Amino acid sequence: MKHVRLLIFDWDGTLMDSANHIVSSIHSASLDMGLVPREDHEMRNIIGLGMKESVYALYPDEYTDEFVLKFASLYRGYFFAKDASQDLFPGAIDTLEELIDMGYMLAVATGKSRNGLNIALKETGMKRLFTESRCADETRSKPHPQMIREILVSLDVNPKQAIMIGDTEYDLEMARNAGVHPVGVSYGVHEISRLQKYNPMHILGAIVELPNWLKEAG
């Protein structure tokens, strides 16, 4: 991609194979609170959204600020019990290093909290790879474009010089809303048919395919 300077990545489901662990952690938090557990497909569907948006989608009748805080605390206790480095998709770190060598800046736009992303970056040793990042608890949640807009302003990058790579329709809708190029991945939580609604430039079958696709496209 001749004029692309910035690659913005979703985290869960794109760089990290964490969907099953997220579902398990939500399920455990629900049981601890005496709630009726949701179906796996319902829990997988909210992956990528911020915590408040996720809790509201799953338990709208229970939703209060206090409820969200309690649910989030329980969820994080289960989720952070596992070392994040165990769940990186194969080749993720090598791929990001190759992209940097190709001259791209890298950023993260994620539904995780800032604390959650910081823990993941530390445990995986990937903090050094990213120039900028935004999380759902410090700006607007996906699919609102504010995350991407803030990253673009911070790095002085035109929207047409950036690509957003993600596994959910929330990622690709956010990309379209922000005016950046959307690229999907087929190995995450949303089916390809859902991603195709946002006319992605490409859908990757594995994260390791990204460098070669960029070379071929540009």
pLDDT digits (tens, 9 = 90+) for 169-217: 999 999 999 999 999 999 999 999 999 999 999 999 999 999 999 999 8
The answer to whether residue 1 scores a pLDDT higher than 70 is: no
The answer to whether residue 99 scores a pLDDT higher than 90 is: yes
* Fold exhibited by the domain 6-17+87-217: Rossmann fold (3.40.50)
Instruction: Give residue for tokens 């692309």.
Output: 4
> What residue spans in the chain does CATH classification 1.10.150 cover?
19-79
> What residue spans in the chain does CATH classification 3.40.50.1000 cover?
6-17+87-217
Query: Hey, which CATH number is domain 19-79, 3.30.420, 3.90.1570, 1.20.120, 1.10.150?
Result: 1.10.150
C-alpha distances in angstroms, 84 versus 17, 125, 138, 186, 201? 9, 10, 21, 21, 30
- The pTM score is 0.93
Among 76-85, 95-104, 152-161, 175-184, whose mean pLDDT is lowest? 76-85
Residue 102 CB neighbours (<10 A) = 12
In angstroms, rounded to a whole number, what is the distance separating the alpha carbons of residues 157 and 143?
Answer: 20
In angstroms, rounded to a whole number, what is the distance separating the alpha carbons of residues 84 and 47?
Answer: 16
| 194 or 1, higher pLDDT | 194
